[in-house]
Chain A
């Protein structure tokens, strides 16, 4: 009997609270557009912010309100964009999925000084543009790795490396890099130039083993004119590139990097 009274009381108390909450959820129900929740379901849910909104649900709301374009989710890529278009009753263009690429492979380049400050690239870049002799190169303190939600960036030999199988192309690293070294390129990229230095060939040669010297060999060998030496730096126009890899074979500095087609893994 003694245990019955408290048990009953608590059953009653729980029941009353339950009923109050059930009623409240009906009375206070907020009408949510069904499309918001169904778009939210198909989005990757990584909340990476690559679309420019605070998270996947914020992006879903913006799409339904008509403020955001359908193909802004890079992590979801084409498949998600097509499904979203279906829900919204529109036709989506094919979305080119992108991945981040680091345009520096200058491991073991010469240093100007030894940096012993706050361990992030933005601080280091303020001190004479970083400790690396090459003012365009990777500082290697890993600001990009620290903002990456997917653990897709590793620092090896003082240079950031993207792990392509983990990268979702959100672009957070692109925004944080003080040297603007990380670029989003289409996932189908076959060749890219792994250097961002606009210095003259002789200067590049003096401080870096993996720098573009602007010799224009690649430009000459390219049959479709996709590669142009912009000053002393080769740049590939990905929309023209047919993936013949001749430029990579010809490059005397071996800095035109070839990816394994489709999974953008660097071929060793």
Chain B
């Protein structure tokens, strides 16, 4: 139980996907203009990443390993994740239209999100069990959500700032993202025993 808790904590704070692994930077910069859309993106990523972690674990264990195809896991996972996202989209559209209209625009974006693929590959690399994989995928996505929502808050302030012309717009956003990443680097010293 304690191991699971540690796994979650490290995935959310210490090894934050955006701020220490630099994965999922595209949606992080693209969809962080407003806190509520950022939260929507975060929820969609959490949803897909948890499911993808479970499914890719199964695919790896029961399809790739028995036939000695481990070296093709990247391609296999891309295929699985893309199909999964498409499937979820259709499923939601039919049965949970409210959730579909909330997540709808974000779901196709996640198909090619490296954070989702990254979580799936890290699960294999770290030799996690099924439960650990799902927990890791879920908490890594929570870390992503935390980062993107915090950053959306920062960007709301940046809009009102009056910086030198050469810094205004994206340069300032990238600098702010760097500063946020440095702040998160402080969690690297966190140890619970």
Contacts and interface: CB of A to CB of B under 8 A. Distances in A.
A24 interface: yes
A17 B69 CA distance: 18
A10 B91 contact: no
Interface stretch (A114-122, A161-169, A204-212, A214-222): A114-122
Nearest to B87: A24
A29 B93 CA distance: 8
Given A29-B94, A30-B94, A118 B67 contact: no
Interface string A189-217: 00000000000000000000000000000
A25 interface: yes
B4 interface: no
Contact of A24 (B72, B76, B80, B90): B90
Nearest to A21: B86
A29 B90 CA distance: 8
Given A6-B72, A10-B76, A118 B94 contact: no
Interface in B84-114: 86-87, 90-91, 93-95
Interface size class of B (residues with CB under 8 A): 10 to 19
Nearest to A2: B68
Contacts, number: 46
A28 B63 contact: no
A223 B67 CA distance: 92
B160 A28 contact: no
Nearest to A117: B162
A20 interface: yes
B72 A116 contact: no
B79 A9 contact: no
Contact of A28 (B75, B83, B94, B162): B94
A123 interface: yes
Interface of B: 63, 67, 69, 72, 75-76, 79-80, 83, 86-87, 90-91, 93-95, 160-162
